[in-house]
Each structure stands twice: as structure tokens, then as C-alpha cells.
């Protein structure tokens, strides 16, 4: 699905060869500052590599329109954005930006359940906790229905129990709906329990690629 060849980005990333598989759950692990978020940003074309090649489905990323790519490959940043308004507004705004039709409350309740967020659709989103805002932003992303999810520490603000529930639901959802999940995580437990492939990055280099 993604294939990287001799990719360099500033002094931050230097990846000789890396393949990320379609329809799999891949976790990216490594110390703080090792370049994990930078790798996700490259895959989402938020930044471009200085040299080397990145392919998505055998097509050079440089030749794919950024908006088109992000319809297929959507990223949840480490600090998700929450807009003023209700929980419903925040779920629907992604569809609006993507020029897709809005969905009804039934679908929105399904999404809230999927991200394990027990809140009313009319609730003010600014009153949510950090972990709840993170899940709301994840719900907004799921509604966009991309082929690939790039998640940067989606469970960093959650307690271990909630983290397990959400990641488990998310993995089940991606499997049922034939999606690809690429997730940065600090949690060794999450990586070993849920991923099929683990990419370990150290000082900008891939030091380990493990099929679990
Ligand atoms: N645009 C940039 N210009 C210069 N340095 C940058 C830029 N973006 C990131 N860095 C640096 O590159 C390194 C890798 O950053 P990155 O955010 O990818 O790490 P990370 O592995 O995701 O870390 P964490 O686990 O703490 O989120 C860090 O030292 C960071 O300060």
C-alpha cells in the first residue's frame, strides 16, 4: 500500500526501504522525538521528503493531488482540533469540509458508540475532557470513511482500560470494513496486542520491522 524507498527528510528521517501493508493494522513505535509523527505527516503529504520516493498503491505520492490523497488517507493529529459547537457539529463538520452529505443522528450515535464516547449529540464540545475530545475527533475521522487511517497516538489521553476498549473496537471496525490502520503508539501493550506489523523507529531510522 505504502512503499518508501531511500526517503530522507531534513535530519529527522532516513528510511532506506519500508513497506506498509494494505488491510493490516500497523503500529509505529519508538522513543519520543524519533520521527514517528514526521513519518505519518509524510504519508499524508503534509510535508514532502527531500529525497527518495514514496508510493501509495504504486503511484508516486508527488503525482497524487493532496486533496484526493487525503480523501483516501486521513490523519488524526496528536492534538486534535475541536471546533466551537456541539458534539453533533463537530462530527458533521468533517463531512462538510469534505463536501460530503451529512448523516442522521442514528449514524452519529453509532459513531459515538464506536469511539466509546457516552455523550449527547447536543452537548457542548468545549466541556469535554481531553480524552473525550480526542475520541470525538476520531469519530469525525471515521465518518469520513477513508481507506487508510493514520492515527497519531489516538489513545494518549486515555486510561488503560478505556484505551483497550477503544483500540479493540477500532481494530474490529477496520477489519470489518476492510480498512488499513497505521497508528503511532507509546503503548507496548497496544502494539503487541493489536498490531499485525510493528515498525520501530530510532533516531529517524527503521531499526525493526516485525510481523506479529
Ligand atoms: N518541521 C520541523 N523542523 C525541524 N525539526 C522538526 C520539524 N518537525 C519535527 N522536528 C523534530 O524532529 C524530531 C522528530 O519529531 P516527531 O514529532 O516526528 O517525533 P515523534 O517520534 O513523533 O515524537 P513524540 O513521540 O514525542 O510525539 C524532533 O526532534 C522534532 O523536534
Best CATH choice for the domain 2-211 from the list 3.40.50.300, 3.30.70.20, 3.40.190.10, 3.40.50.720: 3.40.50.300
ipTM of the complex: 0.93
Q: Whose CA is nearest to atom 29 of ligand 1?
A: 33
pLDDT score at 21: 95
Neighbours of 146 (CB within 10 A): 19
Ligand 1 proximity of 35 Cβ (cutoff 6 Å) = yes
pLDDT score at 178: 96
Q: What is the DSSP string of 140-192?
A: HHHHT--SEEEEESTTTTS-HHHHHHHHHHHHHHHHHTT-EEEEE-S-HHHHH
CA 161 to chain CA centroid, nearest Å? 20
pLDDT score at 207: 95
pLDDT score at 146: 96
pLDDT score at 212: 79
Q: Which of 12, 13, 41, 47 to mutate to test the pocket of ligand 1 (most atoms within 8 A of CB)?
A: 12
Q: What is the mean pLDDT of each run of 10 residues along the chain (212 residues)?
A: 97 97 96 96 97 97 95 93 97 94 97 96 96 95 96 89 91 96 93 95 94 82
Single out the residue of 115, 146, 120 nearest to residue 131, CA to CA. 115
121 membership: H or E segment, kind and range: none
Q: What is the pTM of this model?
A: 0.95
Q: Whose CA is nearest to atom 3 of ligand 1?
A: 10
pLDDT score at 155: 87
112 phi and psi, to 5 degrees?
-60, -40
Q: Which of 7, 30, 35 to mutate to test the pocket of ligand 1 (most atoms within 8 A of CB)?
A: 35
pLDDT score at 159: 87
Ligand 1 proximity of 185 Cβ (cutoff 6 Å) = no
Domain edges within the chain: 2-211
Single out the residue of 44, 74, 46, 48 nearest to residue 56, CA to CA. 44
* Distance (Å, whole) CA 34 – CA 163: 23
pLDDT score at 44: 97
pLDDT score at 188: 85
The cell for 117 is 464516547
Q: Left (φ > 0), alpha (ψ -120 to 50) or beta: where does 91 sit? A: alpha
Nearest atom in ligand 1 to 153's CA: 27
pLDDT score at 168: 93
Ligand 1 proximity of 30 Cβ (cutoff 6 Å) = yes
pLDDT score at 156: 85
Angle at 185 between CA 151 and CA 149, to 5 degrees: 20
Amino acid at each position: 500500500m505504502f512503499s518508501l524507498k531511500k526517503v530522507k527528510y531534513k535530519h529527522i528521517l532516513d528510511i532506506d526501504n519500508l513497506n506498509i501493508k494494505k488491510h493490516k493494522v500497523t503500529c509505529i513505535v519508538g522513543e519520543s522525538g524519533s520521527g514517528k509523527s514526521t513519518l505519518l505527516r509524510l504519508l499524508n503529504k503534509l510535508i514532502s521528503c527531500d529525497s527518495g520516493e514514496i508510493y501509495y498503491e504504486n503511484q508516486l505520492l508527488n503525482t497524487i493531488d493532496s486533496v484526493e490523497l487525503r480523501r483516501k488517507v486521513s490523519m488524526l493529529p496528536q492534538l486534535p482540533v475541536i471546533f466551537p459547537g456541539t458534539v453533533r457539529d463537530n462530527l458533521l463538520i468533517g463531512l462538510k469540509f469534505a463536501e460530503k452529505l451529512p448523516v442522521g443522528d442514528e449514524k452519529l450515535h453509532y459513531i459515538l458508540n464506536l469511539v466509546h464516547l457516552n455523550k449527547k449529540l447536543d452537548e457542548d464540545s468545549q466541556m469535554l475532557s481531553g480524552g473525550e475530545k480526542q475520541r470525538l475527533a476520531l469519530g469525525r475521522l471515521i465518518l469520513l470513511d477513508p481507506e487508510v487511517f493514520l492515527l497519531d497516538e489516538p489513545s494518549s489521553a486515555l486510561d488503560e482500560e478505556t484505551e483497550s476498549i477503544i483500540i479493540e473496537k477500532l481494530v474490529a471496525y477496520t477489519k470489518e470494513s476492510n480498512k488499513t490502520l497505521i497508528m503511532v503508539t507509546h503503548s507496548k501493550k497496544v502494539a503487541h496486542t493489536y498490531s499485525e506489523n510493528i515498525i520501530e523507529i530510532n533516531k529517524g531510522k527503521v531499526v525493526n520491522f516485525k510481523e506479529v
